[in-house]
Amino acid sequence: MKTQAAKILATGLLMAAMVGTTQAQSFTDPVFTPVTTVVDFGEVDSKSDPGFRILTFTNDGASPLTITDIKKSCGCTTPEWPKEPIKPGKTGQIKVAYDISRIGIISKTITVITNEPDGKDADGNILYKQHTIQVKGNVK
C-alpha cells in the first residue's frame, strides 16, 4: 500500500512541477479559433470572381480577443479584420482579398497576430500568439 501511495504522490508532484514550468494559456485569456487554417480560392475565373474570401473565427476564450495586426506574405493579398474586440463566445470575420489579375497558382500566407499571451521573451516581455493562415487557389 505504501508503495502505491508513494507512486501516486510522486506522480502528482511531477505533474505539478510540469504545470508550473510550462507557459500554458490561462483560463481567462482570449483564444482565436479559426474555422479553418486554409483560405481556399479554388479555381478562380479572373473575369468574374470578386477576388475575396471570408475567414470566420470564434473567440473560445474568457476575455475579449483583439486582432492587433495581420502580416501578409506579399502585396497581392489584402486582409481586412475587425478592429473592435471580439467578446468571448462570439465570432468575427477576416476578409482575405487577392489580386485576381495575377494569373496562376495562389500560394500565400497571412499571419494573424492576436492579444493571446504566448509566453515571454528573454527580457520578460509578453509574446503574443501568431496564427498562420494559408491562402491558396488557381487563377485562370
Give the predicted TM-score (pTM) of the model: 0.79
Residue 48 within any structural domain of the chain: yes
Residue 10 within any structural domain of the chain: no
Residue 33 within any structural domain of the chain: yes
**What are phi and psi for residue 138, nearest 5 degrees?**
-150, 120
What cell was used for 92? Answer: 468575427
CATH number at residue 37: 2.60.40.10
Query: Which residue range(s) make up the domain with 95?
Result: 25-139
Residue 20 within any structural domain of the chain: no
pLDDT score of 4: 62
Give the residue-averaged pLDDT of 85-110: 97
Over residues 71-85, the pLDDT tens digits come to 999 999 999 999 999
Contact 138, 100 (CB under 8 A): no
3-class secondary structure per residue, the chain? CHHHHHHHHHHHHHHHHHHHHCCCCCCCCCCEEECCCEEEEEEECCCCCCCEEEEEEEECCCCCECEEEEEECCCCEEEECCCCCECCCCEEEEEEEECCCCCEEEEEEEEEEEEEEEEECCCCCEEEEEEEEEEEEEEC
Over residues 2-33, the pLDDT tens digits come to 566 555 555 554 554 444 434 455 678 999 99
Over residues 31-76, the pLDDT tens digits come to 999 999 999 999 999 889 999 999 999 999 999 999 999 999 999 9
Residue 117 within any structural domain of the chain: yes
Instruction: Quote the number of domains for the chain.
Output: 1
pLDDT score of 21: 38
The amino acid occupying position 63 is S
Residue 17 within any structural domain of the chain: no
Residue 97 within any structural domain of the chain: yes
Pairing of strands 67-72, 38-44: unpaired
Residue 7 within any structural domain of the chain: no
pLDDT score of 26: 66
Over residues 105-140, the pLDDT tens digits come to 999 999 999 999 999 999 999 999 999 999 999 999
The amino acid occupying position 94 is I
Give the residue-averaged pLDDT of 88-94: 98
